[in-house]
Amino acid sequence: MTADAPLHMGMATTKFINSANKELGVPVSNIKPLVKLLVSDGVELEDLLQGTDIHLKDFLDINHHISFQQHMQLILNARRFTKDPTYALKLGQQFFINHDGILACRVMSSKNTQQAMELLSQYQALLTGLLNLNFEISGNYGVLSLTEVFPLGEAQFHFIEYALSAIFSIGKFCLGDKNLHVIFEFECKDQGHTKEFEAFLGNPVRFNCDANRVLIPKETLTKSIIFSDEASAENIEKMCHLHLKQLANDTEIIQKVKSNMRGMPFNQISLEALADRIHMSPRTLRRHLQGQGVSFKALLENERKNIAVKRINKQDISIEKLADLLGYNSASSFSRAFKRWYGVSPNHYKQDQ
C-alpha cells in the first residue's frame, strides 16, 4: 500500500497541489519533501527520478515548475521503489508540523471537532484542487469522505493517505489529544500493510472499503478545540472568504491568459504582451499567476503541448513547420521539448498514430 505535493491549509499559492487543473505546472518546491524523505530512507535518487525528465539543477530553481505528468510519474516511482508503505502518511504528518495557513488558523479557532470538519469541507478550495472533501453525520459517526476531482490513477491513494494523515495530525493538535480515536477506511486492496498503517495512525484501518474516509465518533465531534476563540474565528472567517474570492479571481485571470495565448502567434507571446491585453501590469499578472501556483512559462509550455499533439494527430503538418508555428528556433529544439513532455520524439509519436 505504497501510495506530495505539499498539502497546505492556507494560501492558494502553497496548496496540496497548486490547482485542480491538470494543465498547470507543479512548483518544484512541492516535490522536495517527497524526494528528501525517500532518499533519506534509502531510495536511489536515480530510481526516484526515472522517466520524469526532472534533473538535479531543477531543484535549485525556486521558480521551476514540473508538469502534472512528471509529478504523477514521480509518485509512481515512489510507490514502486520505497520499502516504507507509510511514507505518504509521514509526509502528511510533516505538513502538519509546518502548517501556518489561514484555513489552519480557522480550523484551530473552531468551537469543536464537528465545526472544524464542516469548515474543512466548506473551504476545501483553499486546501486542495485534487480531492473533494465531504463531511456528514451518519449514525453514530461523523464521516469525512475524500474523492478524486479527476482520475489520479495509481497516485490516488498517495494523495488520499497524505491528506488524511495531515488532517488527523491537525485534529490531535487542536484537541490536545495524542490518542484521538477514529476509524480509517480505504478503497484500495489490502496488500499486507494493515499493521504498519495501524501502528502509525494508532487507530483501526480497513482496506477494500466502498469509500476513502475517516469515521469520527460522536463523542469526539463534540470535543472542544483547545484554541477555540470566537473573536479570532470571526476575523479569520472573513479572511477565508477573501482568499476564496481571490482564488476565483486568479482562476478567471488564468483563463483569460490562456485564451489570449491561443489568439497570438507563439513568437509574439510574452508576459508583457499578455499583461497588456488583459489590462494589467506584468508584475500584477505575475502575482496572480503565483496565486495559483503557476508560472507564465508553464502556461505557455502547456499551450504548446496541446497544439503539438493535436497537429501531429492530424498529420497535416511537417515537424519543421510545427516547430516554427510553436515559436521554436529549430525542429531539434521542438523535438527535445516534445520528448520531455511525452517520452518519445515527435517523429516516433507520429509513426505510432
pLDDT-derived band at 22 (thresholds 50, 70, 90) equals low
- The three cell numbers of residue 141 are 459517526
The answer to whether residue 4 is domain-embedded is: no
290: containing domain:
231-352
Contact 185, 160 (CB under 8 A): no
304-322 pLDDT tens trace: 988 998 898 888 889 999 9
Which of the listed residues 221, 243, 269 is the one where a domain comes to its end?
Answer: 221
Rounded Cα gap, residues 188 and 206, in angstroms: 9
Q: Single out the residue in 186, 221, 256 at which a domain terminates.
A: 221
**Mean pLDDT for the chain?**
87
DSSP string covering 178-232, please? TT---EEE-SSPP-S-HHHHHHHHSS-EE-S-SSEEEEEEHHHHTPBPTT--HHH
What pLDDT does 209 receive?
A: 95
Residue 334 and residue 246 share a domain: yes
Domain assignment present for 203: yes
- Over range 67-81, report the average pLDDT: 92
Q: Which residue type sits at 306?
A: N
- Average pLDDT (78-99) is 87
The share of the chain scoring above pLDDT 90, in percent, equals 59
pTM of the shown model: 0.75
pLDDT on residue 2: 39
185 and 161 part of one domain: yes
**CATH number of residue 332's parent domain:** 1.10.10.60
16 with 55, same domain: the answer is: yes
What is the reported pLDDT for 18? 38
Residue (of 144, 124, 118, 107) closest to 7 by Cα position? 124
Percent of the chain whose pLDDT exceeds 70: 91
90 has pLDDT over 60 = yes
Looking at the fold, whether 248 and 337 belong to one and the same domain comes out as yes
In angstroms and rounded to an integer, the radius of gyration of the C-alpha atoms of the chain is 22
- The DSSP H or E segment spanning 339 is helix 331-342
Which stretches of 262-318 are DSSP H helices?
271-277, 282-291, 296-314
Task: Flag whether 56 is in a domain.
Answer: yes
Q: Say whether both 187 and 238 belong to one domain.
A: no
Number of domains comprising the chain: 2
In the block, which residue shows the cell 502575482? Answer: 287
For residue 20, pLDDT over 60 is answered with no
Which among 145, 200, 195 has a CA at the least distance from the CA of 172?
Answer: 200
Coil/strand/helix, residue 96:
helix
What does the pLDDT read at residue 243? 86
State which of 189, 221, 253 marks the end of a domain: 221
Question: Average pLDDT, stretch 189-198?
Answer: 93
Cell of 213: 474516509
Q: Would you say 162 and 4 are in contact if contact means Cβ atoms under 8 Å apart?
A: yes
Residue 321 and residue 337: Cα distance in Å, rounded? Answer: 15
> Are 291 and 186 found together in one domain?
no
The reply to whether 177 and 274 lie within a common domain is: no
Residue 147 in grid coordinates: 474523492
Mean pLDDT of 121-127: 88
Integer Cα distance of 237 and 105 in angstroms: 9
